[in-house]
Amino acid sequence: MIMKYVLDTAYLSSHLCIRPVSNGDSRSLNNMNNSIYFTKILKPLFTVAVIAGMATTANAQQSVSNPLAQSGYYHMGLGDFEIIALSDGTIPQELDKLLTNTTPQEINKLVANNYQQSTVEVSVNAYLIKTKDRLILVDAGTAELYGPTLGHLSESIKRAGYSPEQVDVVLITHIHTDHTGGLMDGNRLVFPNATVYISKVEADFWLSPENYKKAAEGMKKYFVEATTKVGPYMNAGKVKTYTYGHELFPGITPIASPGHTPGHSFYAVESKGQKIVFWGDIIHSSAVQFPDPAVTIVYDIDPKAAAASRKKAFAEAAKEGYWVAGDHLSFPGIGHVRTEKDGNGYRWVPINYSTYSLGQ
């Protein structure tokens, strides 16, 4: 889960203008106008953010579509499979307001170790698995729900050489709408030929009218969004729920990882002795949660269980040395986990860039 963030002049001027300008004052918006980077890429977003900031309805914030400024896809081979990381975009997140079971001092120290600030652009990733006979998507991005810097998944799928209509299967890690929002574009099924797989526990939790009624006022909107985005696939008979302990497809097995949501699931994918585990939302900040896996986030429905799932996942990934992929790890979000020698938590080792898709 992520927090919607309305871009504003302060954020753009202090965080996003990364091109040096002529007189060296990168914080001046007037000077930023001299930058090609600002004019071509950020100005359209900036203009919309100002309009959105003045508007009184949330819908006004959703009326933007700018092309993703980066390539948006990355290929990696895994045995007989091909894994393609896909970017839905990024969104600034205020870690000092969102992370829990920690202190602002600890957050500031750990982000500084990574040359970041406490407000950081967080990736929203999804992944394609190309097997011999299926095109399988892991998670589905945000669509219009989180503003103009996100909602690029379909565009990234096309840039990678595929179309959403070609997707046969969508595996959902959990029903938060930064992972399921992109299933629908208005009333249109974005993946009309796909069957959507969700753990039974997760589907039962989010699609239950009783749970909606019981939910705190601030949570109700997430139940409504879940129904809006997953409901149409359910109604069309295109959702399959599963229990754990068996493969869904050859080499592809869901694993229970509860806490962030009750039915949160990993997907372990193996081919020819190589393995990757898709992690969903077990981690939101590599700078903070690898060194300190006990740090939780406000969206964890059961923070204690979420931290326990995270510790178990980190320990296993470090011990076994397999690939992992996280929806909110910096794009492409694929890499390995290493235990720090001094016993201070874990370290993220991002994938080595490879034009041959080898990943080594």
Q: Which is nearer to Zn ion, 75 or 176 (CB)?
A: 176
Distance of closest approach, residue 221 Cβ to Zn ion, in angstroms: 15
Instruction: Give residues in contact with Zn ion (CB under 5 A).
Output: 1, 178, 281
Interatomic CA distance for residues 55 and 69, integer angstroms: 26
Strands of 265-271's sheet in order across: 252-256, 265-271, 274-278, 323-325, 334-339, 346-350
Q: Which is nearer to Zn ion, 225 or 281 (CB)?
A: 281
- Written as six digits, the tokens of 81 are 């499979």
Three-point CA angle 81, 124, 266, nearest 5°? 50
Interatomic CA distance for residues 307 and 222, integer angstroms: 22
124 and 150 Cβ atoms separated by less than 8 Å: yes
Q: Which is nearer to Zn ion, 48 or 98 (CB)?
A: 98
Distance of closest approach, residue 207 Cβ to Zn ion, in angstroms: 18
Distance of closest approach, residue 174 Cβ to Zn ion, in angstroms: 8
Interatomic CA distance for residues 73 and 76, integer angstroms: 10
Q: Which is nearer to Zn ion, 1 or 324 (CB)?
A: 1
Q: Which is nearer to Zn ion, 131 or 180 (CB)?
A: 180
Residue 85's DSSP bridge partners are: 74, 127
Q: Which is nearer to Zn ion, 38 or 127 (CB)?
A: 127
Q: Which H or E element spans position 11?
A: helix 9-11
Q: Which is nearer to Zn ion, 42 or 287 (CB)?
A: 287
Q: Decide: residue 220, CB within 10 A, 0-12 exposed, 13-18 middle, 19+ buried.
A: middle
Q: Name the residue among 136, 5, 149 with its Cα closest to residue 70.
A: 149
Written as one letter, the residue type at 131 is: T
Q: What is the largest CA-CA distance in the chain?
A: 62
Distance of closest approach, residue 222 Cβ to Zn ion, in angstroms: 12
Distance of closest approach, residue 98 Cβ to Zn ion, in angstroms: 11
Q: Which is nearer to Zn ion, 251 or 259 (CB)?
A: 259
Interatomic CA distance for residues 16 and 121, integer angstroms: 9
Distance of closest approach, residue 178 Cβ to Zn ion, in angstroms: 4
- Written as six digits, the tokens of 167 are 């997707």
